[in-house]
Amino acid sequence: MEYSRVKNPIEDFMDIKKTNAARILDRQKISYELIPYKVDENDLGAQHVADSLGEDINQVFKTILVHGDKIGYLVCVVPGNLEVDLKGAAKVSGNKKIDTVPLKDLTPLTGYIRGGCSPLGLKKNFPIFIHETAMQFPYIYVSAGERGLQLKVAPADLVKATRATVGVIARVPPEDPDAK
């Protein structure tokens, strides 16, 4: 029995293969859609993904690996237009301090590359934390585990599948005074 539907708006993506993240949802009988988009190697940001999908950036979530002083590595899933609030994530996760993990450590720790990191199917079972705004939408997008493919899933189902904790873990990035 299949619980997924593959939406295929772009002819180039006629042969979408299921990812480990999708298989995890299948095993848990969770409904989702695999949604392809065209990758721009020069712009792996969430805004590009949202624009490519024609979706609200608030519903396109990015997966960020961080390290806490008490529990070690953890994963924060935050809206694409926000950044991880290190103090908020520390509080929600029971840490005193959290730091971002260097990009060079992402693949060895998660099995995923930048622009294709999913909260599902990580190499290790890190605790997952999802920003609370996810719960206000009927569905959100997260990486399916490879660049060019997103999972469209109900946030409550993602919380269930990842055993995530929901909390205030994101903030608006401060303005860059040099960006003019």
What are the tens digits of pLDDT across the range 118-149?
999 999 999 999 999 999 999 999 999 998 89
Q: Nearest-CA neighbor of 121 among 130, 112, 113? A: 112
Alpha helices in 85-162 (DSSP H): 86-93, 106-110, 155-162
CATH class of the structural domain 4-170? alpha beta
Query: Contact 144/41 with Cβ under 8 angstroms?
Result: no
pTM reported for the whole predicted model: 0.87
Sequence ranges of the domains in the chain: 4-170
> How much of the chain, in percent, has pLDDT values that exceed 90?
72
- pLDDT of 43 reads 72
